[in-house]
Amino acid sequence: MNIYSPEGTLDAITDNWIGVVAIGGVSIVAMWVFFIEAARMSHRDRVAPMALWMTALWWPHDGNYLLDFDLWFGTYDHWFMKLFWFAIIVTFLSETTYVVQTVRYGRDELSPGQSQRAHTFRVLGAVAAGVISWSLLKGALHDPLYLLSFMGTLLWGLPSASALLLRRRSAAGQSLLEWQAFAVMTFCYSAASIFFFGGGFFHSWQYVGICLAACIWSIVVVQRLKAVGAVPSSWSQVPSSTPRTATVS
């Protein structure tokens, strides 16, 4: 499968800037809503906001994008990559919050019978493993603009919702707003990349297949959360699906 050309893709984005800004802008706003709402739901219900493996993969991915500052503002010097850099600041700060919340609220669920110190080391160890895993994956991918990996992170995120529902047997820590925003983000990024990034790789059956899988799965997640009685949002006064659990020192 051929990969995309960075220069050709950025030229296509510039040529289609109205569509990219319009649809991509909605995707970014939805992304911020998702990340912030997940942190709020974690605080509200005193549970880990995401599956640990997902936080461990997303954190180094977005952190790596921020560390590549010179690429976006120097090497490529393109407005799209610069705007994305500023947008990713919010997601990285949210993911860092997820690590802290997983340490604070996730011991009973993730490390039953263990001390808080052991649980903390386990979470930090998972994040370290995520850093190594992302480094290996990034080295194997020819994805200089992170455009494929961003789509991959959307697909990675959906198993987290399913895993938490199965493990908790409730919608605790998750709201409809959270995953509705995720669905909007997924649909918008898929549409923007397929229609406005210049074709070629972005029209391949493999890439379109990833987009379709993520979009369909996001709808399934929202419908499943509705079926189990998830609260509309973190501002809802409806009681949580499970009692809150306090962190024990």
Q: Does residue 196 contact residue 13 with C-beta atoms inside 8 Å? A: yes
The DSSP annotation for 65-96 comes to HHHTHHIIIIIS--HHHHHHHHHHHHHHHHHH
pLDDT along the chain (249 residues), means of 10: 88 97 96 97 96 93 97 96 96 97 96 95 96 93 93 88 89 95 97 94 95 95 94 80 41
Using CA atoms, how far apart are residues 62 and 83, in angstroms rounded to an integer?
14
Determine the angle formed by the axes of helices 147-168 and 52-67, rounding to 10 degrees. 160
Write out pLDDT tens, residues 170-199: 999 999 999 999 999 999 999 999 999 998
Q: How many CB atoms lie within 10 A of CB 56?
A: 25
